[in-house]
Structure 1
Amino acid sequence: MSDTDHGLHRKVERVESLVLRLEQGVGQVGVQVAHVGQRAEEANDRLQKLSQAFEDYVLKAERTANVQRSETRIGVVEGQIEHQFGHYKVVRRVATGMLQGFDLGLVSDDTLRDVGEQLMIETPRYWLAPVLVALRSWLADDQQQCERAVQEAFRRSPSRTSLFMALMLRRQGRVESSLRWLRHYLAALDPNGLGREFAVILESVSQGAFGPAGVEIVRERLEVWRAQLLGDEGREQAQVDRWRAEIERHAGPSSQQRFPRLAAVCPQWPQMDQALSKAAAHDSLIAKYSAMTAEEPAVRERLEDQVDDILDQLVTGYDEEELPLRRELAQHHAVVRNGGDLDAAQRDLGSDLLALDRRLDYLTIQSESALNPDKLGVTRATQRMAVSACHEWFGRAHATYSRDYRATLPADVEAVVETSHTPAGQAFRLPRWTGSFTRPIEELERSLAEHWDRAARPFIDSFAYKWGRNLIAPIAVVAVLLVCVGVMQNPAMLILPILVGGVWAAVLWWQSQNAAARQKEVEDALQLAKLDSVQQLRGAAAEVVDWSGTFRQADSREPAVRALIADLATAGNAPAPFERRVADARAGA
């Protein structure tokens, strides 16, 4: 009987050992699963970072290669321009010097003749070369040669020759002759395809270079062209779109760093951020165009100097033969300027190419003079005149711009909380909670806290020790032992079930304490997460108020922009500096 008791005792010990090992194994498996989950997340994060780093490296390498290729091509294209058209620069410099020689009389007739004839031979297709011969012939009073030279220049470039002669005669005080050339120039133009030199006409009008009569002739022609082109709604809309793009460039940066909590919890944040960014354009527009209207353009003391500046723009402009190479050069410069980003370079080049295109309609030249004066080589005075002429398009673009960003404002600003946590190595996901900031913040905080409590309670309770399930095995074992003791009718053997029950009770108590500690850890972690969510909500509500005030302040500047645009209508009507004076003493003789 003692052997039976001993064998039964060993079996009970083995069962207890197996139960303990099983529980330890289950615990180790849980820990390992948590570690595996954590390692998987870390591996996924590292893989994403590695993938992003590789993509960044590839992009950087590609852009670096683009920059290197463009820098190489810039040198090649500049060499081609210098080789093929470098002699054109000589002609341009000589033209300016010859005009100054008219005033100073320091250059001999023989020198002018030799230089003019030499450049005529070296540049057989360039329109300016025969113009130099004509100037020298005029100075020498050789009418027959002057006429032949003018005819040859006119054959090579009718528009530029006409404009040059109009300006040059105006410079010499030959008003009637200048106006005849000006009429001839304007009559031959097609408003649908004007050359780049037409920007010189706008410059001449803004500076009053042709005098009151010439300015009136140009204005009448421009009004006819404007009425003709505005009959095409597509052309007019294209100019409105151009001004809309100008306004868009004044939009402010994202304000996400200023309102981080709102950006984190509000699904309407992208629309709100965009609306605030666009509303910030009003102040920028006011600053730019107020400064333009307030600036007084520099005025030369002599009309001759003023006309010389305009003539410089005409003679130094690229010839049509140079445009393909100039266009390629502009493309490569845009790539280098944008760090090898081809898309950004193409966007940047979109406006640059306007200054390099062969032909533009009058409306486009007018808009480009207002928006990109440097690219067309016109002064601030011409820009102001062009802005004045374009104020209707500016106003329409600004009205639709303001209407559009206001239309994107959300009707309701909401907060959405939906987070994931891993307390004690176990994944917990808070179900989606949505609240509207139109409700009192106290009500929202209470609703979110209750939502947290409802969602977290079942998860926390799942960590409670399962006494009922864990007591089944020990109760069954102790009951079997008691039955065996009863069968053997040996009261001394009662010590065995008591001992087994006591050990097992100690094990269960230890397990329950561990479960209670783990449950408390999970509950504390989720409580902190709940408090953080509530604080985020409270901070987002405060940022909604700040955002609303900032947006109202930015948006309130819109009427000031409308008033400024209305003032721009008269900004280009200031008297030109030479409207009431003659070119020089010879004109009054």
Structure 2
Amino acid sequence: MTDPDRQLHHKVDAVQQLVLRLEEGVGQVSLQVAGVGQRTEEVNSQLQLLARSFEEYVLKAERTANAQRAETRIGVIEAQIEHRFGHYKVVRRVARGMLQGFDVGLVSDETLRDVGEQLMVETPGYWLAPVLVALQAWLADDQATCERAVQEAFHRSPGRTSLFMALILRRQGRGESSLRWLRHYLAALDPSDLGREFAVILESVSQGAFGPAGIEMVQERLDQWRAQLLSDPAREQAQIQRWRSELEKYVGPPVADRYPRLVAVSPQWPQMDRVLSRAAAHEALINRYSAMAVEEPAARARIEDQVDDILDLLVTGFDEEELPLSRDLAENHAIVKHGGDLAAARRDLDTDLLALDKRHDYLTTQSESALNPDKLGVSRATQRMAVSSCHEWFAQAHAQYSRDYRTELPADVEAVFESDHNLAGVAFRLPRWTGSFTRPIEALERSLAEHWDRAGRPFVDSLAYNWQRNLIAPGAVVLVLLLCGFAQPIMLVAALLVGAVWGGVLWYQAQNQAAVQQQARDFLERAKVDSIQQLRGGAAELADWTTAFRQADGREAAVRAVVADLATAGSPATPYERRVAHAGTRTGA
């Protein structure tokens, strides 16, 4: 071999080594690019998870701060209530003790007079203080002082004083005097602007505390008010809406964790979740009200005990000047109860705070007695009677509630598949596929599989080795060498060597690309199988959801039956006609 041939041979070998190393580098770069694509997806997922975690942390920190501020505020408000109205508690406790003194006679008139006069001085403006003076004067048969004290109490709070005297006289067996005070109280009332003490009237009716004549008088007046107020459709609609707001409290929790595949594939899931949660309210309503419909609240053995309970309700209830702080306290307690979630606390309070308003119309008082008995201080018997009076609003609100969530039922439940993938550094996007679950599942699976095949085939084909493009450069080099071979025969040998080397390199590249192509084919096949399994699982969960909804929605008729039972469950208790303690030893009032 001549020196030029040897030199050419060495150069060809060097070129071949360079080409092989270049090809290895290209293969490594391809693998690295694929790895980078996969890691990019992992990083994106981790970033999304981190973002969600950070948002949850911020939300949790914000709610914790809200709860802490509310706890601090609760302490401040309670201190303000104690400072401004703590002396009211003393008067109320003394009032209850003095009532007991009517029966047992263990406290001297002097002690009662001193206590009453002291509290009269210490609590200026409070209606109950002169009432205590009147009670002491009554015990001492001091009619003049009793009348002056009653007039002063009436001046401070006509409504509460009238009710108090009506109840005291009823307790002491002075039926006619009790009815005069009761008639005086009712005549002065505006049914569209009732104070909180009117809840005592409902309590008295439910307990039969005023006797048959008193119940008849009150019931006649209540019927007149009801007819008068219901002549305004807006007032009735307000009560229906109030009951509708109450029904919203019984909406069940989200159920997405029970149907994960359906959540993943169906865009209609948010509607379905709301509908099922709202249908679940029927069972909660049945549990809440069915016992009330059949129970018979036990009456107290003595009229004195019954009236004492009602008097306690009257004297211990919030006065109007206490209500702003009481509302503020309730708001902060709700924030603490819901762990600092202001929205949840507001939803809870939107209805509950109504019971802490100063004035209501008669219809609202009935609804609040039914829905917020604890905040008005009325008994279970009064709540039961109020629910019975409100059963028409309850029924209409429930019918609207059921109608509204049923209208949210999606007309068609669909499955949607659309996804992005990164394979060997090349992006693949599955075009959107939509199928209706009204079709047989076999047809849906077949359609989805064909969709994957149609979308994946061009992508896999695009990864095939392009012989035509990759042959241009080596072909041109070989052609040049061949042309030079006419002048120098050694160039023909070089052309053959270069062609062989380039042919080996191209074959190696083609094999690598074929492997990449097969990987893409296998990946798309697995993704197709996974999608079909998700579709199948979504169809199965849709069947479970349908069963659960039908069962929950089917309880709507049972709620209507309970409401119908409540309509006849609120008759007033049997009135007492027993002789009362020391009835013959008291003076008139």
The 1-side partners of 2:539 and 2:56 are apart by 37
The 1-side partners of 2:408 and 2:70 are apart by 41
> What letter matches 1:314 in structure 2?
L
The 2-side partners of 1:51 and 1:441 are apart by 37
> What letter matches 1:519 in structure 2?
Q
The 1-side partners of 2:261 and 2:281 are apart by 24
**1:209-243 CA deviation, whole Å, 9 max, x = no partner?**
11111111111111111112212222211111111
The 1-side partners of 2:124 and 2:202 are apart by 30
Q: Deviation at 1:33?
A: 4.6
**1:339-398 CA deviation, whole Å, 9 max, x = no partner?**
233333333333342232211111111111111111111111111111111111111111
- Does the CA contact (< 8 Å) of 1:464 and 1:519 recur in 2? yes
Match of 2:543 among 538, 542, 545: 545
> What letter matches 1:438 in structure 2?
T
- Does the CA contact (< 8 Å) of 1:430 and 1:452 recur in 2? yes
- What's 2:396 paired with? 396
The 1-side partners of 2:227 and 2:556 are apart by 30
Q: Deviation at 1:13?
A: 5.2
Which gives a bigger RCO, structure 1 or 2 (Cα 8 Å, sep 6+)?
2
> What letter matches 1:526 in structure 2?
L
> What letter matches 1:96 in structure 2?
R
- What's 2:528 paired with? 530
Aligned residues: 585
> What letter matches 1:483 in structure 2?
L
The 1-side partners of 2:561 and 2:53 are apart by 50
- Does the CA contact (< 8 Å) of 2:293 and 2:565 recur in 1? no
The secondary structure found in structure 2 opposite 1:418 is: strand
> What letter matches 2:506 in structure 1?
L
Q: Where in structure 2 are the equivalents of 1:175-254 lying within 5 Å?
A: 175-254=175-254
- What's 2:68 paired with? 68
Identity of matched residues, %: 73
- What's 2:422 paired with? 422
- Does the CA contact (< 8 Å) of 2:23 and 2:509 recur in 1? no
- Does the CA contact (< 8 Å) of 2:244 and 2:398 recur in 1? yes
- Does the CA contact (< 8 Å) of 1:304 and 1:583 recur in 2? no
Distance 1:113 1:334, change over 3 A: same
> What letter matches 2:243 in structure 1?
W
Q: Where in structure 2 are the equivalents of 1:372-521 lying within 5 Å?
A: 372-489=372-489, 494-521=492-519
TM-score normalised by structure 1 residue count: 0.93
The 1-side partners of 2:52 and 2:251 are apart by 29
The 2-side partners of 1:415 and 1:230 are apart by 50
- What's 1:559 paired with? 557
Moved more, 403-412 or 385-394: 403-412
Is 1:576 aligned to residue 573 of structure 2?
A: yes
The 1-side partners of 2:535 and 2:62 are apart by 44
- Does the CA contact (< 8 Å) of 2:162 and 2:181 recur in 1? yes
The secondary structure found in structure 1 opposite 2:550 is: helix
Structure 2 unaligned blocks of 5 or more:
none
The secondary structure found in structure 2 opposite 1:194 is: coil
- Does the CA contact (< 8 Å) of 2:23 and 2:505 recur in 1? no
The 1-side partners of 2:407 and 2:115 are apart by 67
Distance 1:271 1:374, change over 3 A: same
The 2-side partners of 1:321 and 1:261 are apart by 56
Q: Where in structure 2 are the equivalents of 1:151-162 lying within 5 Å?
A: 151-162=151-162
TM-score normalised by structure 2 residue count: 0.93
Distance 1:101 1:350, change over 3 A: same
The 1-side partners of 2:518 and 2:313 are apart by 82
> What letter matches 1:392 in structure 2?
E
The 2-side partners of 1:412 and 1:583 are apart by 71
**1:55-85 CA deviation, whole Å, 9 max, x = no partner?**
4444333333333333233222222222222
- What's 2:148 paired with? 148
- Does the CA contact (< 8 Å) of 1:423 and 1:526 recur in 2? no
- What's 2:88 paired with? 88
- Does the CA contact (< 8 Å) of 1:195 and 1:358 recur in 2? yes
Q: Deviation at 1:338?
A: 2.5
Moved more, 562-571 or 443-452: 562-571
- Does the CA contact (< 8 Å) of 1:170 and 1:583 recur in 2? no
**1:416-452 CA deviation, whole Å, 9 max, x = no partner?**
1112222334321110011111111111111110000
- Does the CA contact (< 8 Å) of 1:394 and 1:565 recur in 2? yes
- Does the CA contact (< 8 Å) of 1:74 and 1:329 recur in 2? yes
